[in-house]
Amino acid sequence: MPRPAKGIRLWLRPEERNSDGTLRKRAVWVIRDGPRKISTGCPAQDRAGAERQVGEYLANKYQPNRSHGRHPSQILIADVLAIYLKGRRASARAGRRDKAAGFNTRFVVG
């Protein structure tokens, strides 16, 4: 019988030292997601920063169900908000990109 999955979690990768005792790699927090190991870049003393990184990782990993034809009672409000905010971020990035390129998006000649 296979072991149950532990889920996404933080793991403190220990520091690595050379054979002469000098420091080779500092201890760092790592996100463990099954076989994947994603470094947070946060040192051992910054557990709060590593937890923020896990939150961002989970938010980016989650993809809401966007299938059509569902009854409104089956749609989670959190999914609606996630889709809305993702669209807002994309449009805001596009607006900044157009401004940086010198385009005025308010007056479109068509």
Task: Kindly report, residue by residue over 88-110, the tens digit of the pLDDT.
Answer: 877 766 666 556 555 555 555 54
Nearest in space to 39 (alpha carbons), one of 25, 50, 23: 50
How would residue 5 be classed by pLDDT, with cut points 50, 70 and 90? confident
User: How many whole angstroms from its chain centre is CA 44?
Assistant: 20
DSSP string covering 15-63, please?
Answer: PEE-TTS-EEE--EEEEEETTEEEEEEEETT-HHHHHHHHHHHHHHH--
Backbone angles phi, psi at 81, to 5 degrees: -65, -40
Mean pLDDT of 17-43: 93
In this predicted model, which residue has the larger pLDDT, 23 or 63? 23
Which pTM does this prediction carry?
Answer: 0.59
CA distance 44 to 41: 10
